[in-house]
Amino acid sequence: MRPYIRRLDSTEDAREIMENIGCDPEGIKIMENKMLSLSFIADGINSAGANILKQEMLAVGGEAAVARGTANCSVEKSGVLLHATVSQYLRLVEKLRDQPFGLSALAEDIRDGLEAYLQGPRETRIGKITVPSSRPIIMGILNVTPDSFSDGGLYHHPEKAVARVMEMVDGGADMVDIGGESSRPGSRRISAEEEWKRIGEVIRTVKKETDTPISVDTYKAEVAEKSLALGVEAINDITAGRDERLLETVGDAGAAVVLMHMQGTPETMQKNPSYEDVVGDILSFLRQQVEKAAEHGIKDIVIDPGIGFGKALAHNLEILHHLDSFRVLGRPILIGPSRKSFIGGVLDLPVEERLEGTMAAAVTSLMMGADIFRVHDVREVRRALDLAAAIRDCSIPKYFNSWSC
């Protein structure tokens, strides 16, 4: 057989191929970390430190790109692009542990990022759900609002809302996200009292009808507290815990939290959003908020880069293209592309015709490392993701009882 190119997505891929070749087991242990190469980006490195970093990276066989002027320190600070195998990074970390100019801290960040990226997110509980799971987790959307961009006004009555929840569960939803305030671009804010009036009875009724985990889409501590008192398993906060009272409430309840990035507010977020580095900026913000949530005793934390929340079309596409970058935080990734305007922007389609675009974005996100998918069209996305997961894992999912051609 003539040689062909084979992409390696993980050290496990390399290990499997070497086992098939018949390599010595001890040799596999030595070689597996040499088979996968990755890039790290860092900024704000002192020029003297960047020089040391470049020298040490070259010494272990990797590569480091720094700003012009770094060598003679004519620039104060430099960004750095590193590229190396896992094995080379591990050797670099050892070399940097006792170095000055913040390099020892950088070494710890590289080590922790490698571990999180390669091993996947830490185990996270949302009610009876454990993430990561052998199957993609579907979060069905229930908007109990009169003005949501896609389904506003459809499920405002408790009976219709509960019927919709049961329909989504039957279609394959693993959990349901209930929201009482629209966060579409330009939407108006409502009081905690009005929000609770919309969702309180719906939550009570749903919790009586199903043991499916429920999250509540709110950024208000008062609404979160009342929801958690009714047995809700998670709070989905579009402000990522900027109100620390909400984090304290979730931590005291022992519940899970979803921390989502949003630039600005729903009223202003789509008025010329801008970033220096959209992925890097969001990653830095989410890292900060994850640490803050952990300080409030929250163990089960999910991150969401916030597709459509303070992002232009190009920003949304770049986030999805580089979604795997968020894996370095070691937390499950939630993605919410459902019927969003970026789909309409690419395909020139109205909201009611964005199903295929939603499915494409969900499948792409799965391949990039997403764990939870917040969608309106549960049954259709469930089918698409189950097939995509079988392709990704190169195996028939264990949750299928049979498989026929």
Query: Which amino acid belongs to residue 43?
Result: D
On whether both 170 and 248 belong to a single domain, the answer is: yes
Full domain range(s) for residue 69: 36-119
Torsion region of 273: left, alpha or beta (phi above 0 gives left; psi -120 to 50 gives alpha): beta
Catalytic residue among 91, 164, 374, 382: 374
pLDDT band at 396 (very low <50, low <70, confident <90, very high): low
Indicate whether 405 pLDDT > 80.
Answer: no
Q: State the DSSP H helix or E strand holding residue 283, giving kind and residue range, or none if neither.
A: helix 278-295
Indicate the residue among 62, 96, 119 that finishes a domain: 119
Is residue 168 in some structural domain? yes
pLDDT band at 399 (very low <50, low <70, confident <90, very high): low
Strands 301-304 and 372-375: unpaired
Is residue 404 in some structural domain? no
Is residue 352 in some structural domain? yes
Indicate whether 403 pLDDT > 50.
Answer: no
Is residue 237 in some structural domain? yes
* Helix spans in 190-243 (H): 192-209, 221-229
Average pLDDT of the segment spanning 267-278: 86
On whether both 238 and 374 belong to a single domain, the answer is: yes
Indicate the residue among 94, 119, 144 that finishes a domain: 119
Residues 326-343: tens digit of each pLDDT = 999 999 999 999 999 999
On whether both 244 and 260 belong to a single domain, the answer is: yes
Mean pLDDT value across the chain: 92
On whether both 110 and 149 belong to a single domain, the answer is: no
On whether both 115 and 132 belong to a single domain, the answer is: no
Q: pTM of the full predicted structure?
A: 0.92
Average pLDDT of the segment spanning 299-310: 96
Query: Which amino acid belongs to residue 81?
Result: L
Name the nearest CA neighbour of 177 among 191, 190, 161.
Answer: 161
On whether both 140 and 99 belong to a single domain, the answer is: no
| Cβ(160)–Cβ(188) below 8 Å | no
Q: Is 311 a catalytic residue?
A: no
Indicate the residue among 101, 119, 137 that finishes a domain: 119
On whether both 145 and 82 belong to a single domain, the answer is: no
What's 316's domain CATH number? 3.20.20.20
Is residue 85 in some structural domain? yes
Is residue 26 in some structural domain? no
pLDDT band at 187 (very low <50, low <70, confident <90, very high): low
On whether both 113 and 131 belong to a single domain, the answer is: no
What pLDDT does residue 385 have?
98
Out of 6-15, 54-63, 74-83, 126-135, pick the least confident.
6-15
On whether both 46 and 80 belong to a single domain, the answer is: yes
What pLDDT does residue 398 have?
58
| Cβ(11)–Cβ(51) below 8 Å | no
Residues 26-62: tens digit of each pLDDT = 999 999 999 999 999 999 999 999 999 999 999 999 9
Catalytic residue among 340, 382, 383, 398: 340
Is residue 30 in some structural domain? no
Is residue 224 in some structural domain? yes
Q: Which residue is listed with tokens 């060598």?
A: 71
On whether both 59 and 149 belong to a single domain, the answer is: no
Dist CA 346 CA 358 (whole Å): 12
Out of 184-193, 212-221, 286-295, 330-339, pick the least confident.
184-193
Q: Is 160 a catalytic residue?
A: no
The total number of structural domains in the chain stands at 2
On whether both 192 and 276 belong to a single domain, the answer is: yes
